A and B are shown apart, each in its own frame.
Chain A
């Protein structure tokens, strides 16, 4: 298949390119990038005038729910959601049933990803760090790496035991694969459902103290200092104090990285006063000071990546008492809109900086090769209309689940398609 992508503005954080160029793609490989290529009739022409073309996006933190919770999402619907949202790759978390703690499950997830959506969305499993995600025994990390795992995490549960965390860091360091921590001191958070502070005091909802995150990050960074060969990544960091710890660890040269979700740079815990269960996620929405700290850390590089923590739950699961509702919201189809609206339109991040957080940096963290806009390289790209003004409508989500607090919100910037593995997809058509 020969494709002529015409007139788009290429924004590539890796090479620093920011120019209007045409791209010729032949059988999934970039044949040429130039100003006005002469093209014969064998090419399918796609007009990208006014749109931007960026390296294919990677969401390094999604829950695809398969195997085990297919009523919430499947690898197929999750990939459709990713594709619609402009992602050409996702890393899926191991809190499935069975957990991804065995090479057969990792392989299943990886292969299923290749079979759905024409293989346009690559699925990279994050394997459990411990067997059954119970925090007691190491998972078979070498075998899991062999089956395609790109990270180790017990996400949803923290690795609570310091001894086990030490061993996880040591053992994983042999493979150069990061340990991704859901940072939460669990003895302090039991039963909690929103950030502990003024808002929880007013509403009487049980609180999750911000120091529970800080404590776990602090402990882990102390362990990382002891085991500097390991790579440590803080998932969905949400508190100003934990961010400061990561900032210092980075300054000290530790291999520590962090991600933040769009909801943690957009919403504060004030929205939980509605008792809308789509405002319930873990870590919880925090205070305005924390949101500002997340934004500043995205700016100064302390937070490397934007990841959605896409966590599908059915309407029936969410339409219950706040305390009973499961944590999490879907995020794949609002990530670009929120990033563009909240971070780029506001002038906080340059466009290429924002794209780096959604592509280059997460790829580096999980050890995937950089995407290059160079002749002879695989064509892996996302098309974005940076000026599209649109209203989030959960009923239009490709995800099986509709649990989003952003329903009805007007966003600027939208993914309009992706091209990867020789396949092209134009969103919403």
Chain B
């Protein structure tokens, strides 16, 4: 069994078998990460470029670590802001890097569709490390991996993504991936941050944490960005915290202890209270560990065909 495409652009069109394959492969790599010597040879001789057009320390480091542990040669490139504003187009940047005989490209970009665009203009395998508000497939996969590890199966697992769904690629990849694996996904956030017609994606919409907490097994809490306040999307961080911040007090209404996830970096005591982030039900650091294993699995499956 192998993946059907040459790229990982998103989870939307991946089959259950493909997702299973990635998650199972990640289990093996997680075992590798527990060994004293964490390096394995499958991508020896392959060169991977990490193109980060939007800053993201943790995703970049996670990818770099995964790449190095698979013995690939790695170059990383970070440039924030639009490539157009810097005078060189994304296409030219990518083609230049490809001209240096790169085998795989990991790309993070502020514009939805950027990874799709690259997959059309360069020959390397493209891995989407987040494109605008569209998808962040490896985050979706590591969330699924972590939930599966904790709960045994994703089938009928009830997961609510909390916060700024409108601008969140994590939310979309979670919805696509978890639904394919048989989980029930809901979203909760202010009406201004819930995109229109999201119900048609098969998710239930909540505007009160108190309503959704008794109904779910896990919360995936999204980072809230202050800049949205300036655009009139919510009134203040204080009000956000009071009504949409996930706190110990609110999760006590759960029927059983809720698993707490967060893609990081956390705004402590804004979208998630500090005590909960550090509690026994938080799997936030496991997510980070699993992120490396999942990325190793994706790189391995795409890079060794």
Contact = CB atoms under 8 A, between A and B. Distances in A.
B1 interface: no
A337 B292 CA distance: 53
B93 to A, nearest CB: 11
B35 interface: no
B12 A202 contact: yes
B260 to A, nearest CB: 25
A37 interface: no
B169 A204 contact: yes
Given A204-B132, A319-B121, A324-B82, A275 B197 contact: no
B116 interface: yes
Contact of B135 (A204, A320, A324): A204
Interface in B2-26: 12
A275 B90 contact: no
Interface string B90-116: 110000000000000000011111101
Contacts of B133: 204-206
Contacts of B198: 201
Interface residues of B, number: 30
B201 interface: yes
B113 A197 contact: no
A203 B91 contact: no
A322 interface: yes
A323 interface: yes
B201 A205 contact: no
Contacts of A205: 112-113, 132-134
B230 interface: no
A423 B121 CA distance: 44
B85 to A, nearest CB: 9
B117 interface: yes
A274 B112 CA distance: 11
Interface in B163-207: 167, 169, 172, 195-198, 200-201
B91 A323 contact: no
A204 B197 contact: no
B82 A203 contact: no
Contacts of A320: 84, 89-91, 117
Interface of B: 12, 82-84, 89-91, 109-114, 116-117, 121, 131-135, 167, 169, 172, 195-198, 200-201
5 contacts: A202-B172, A204-B172, A207-B196, A321-B82, A323-B113
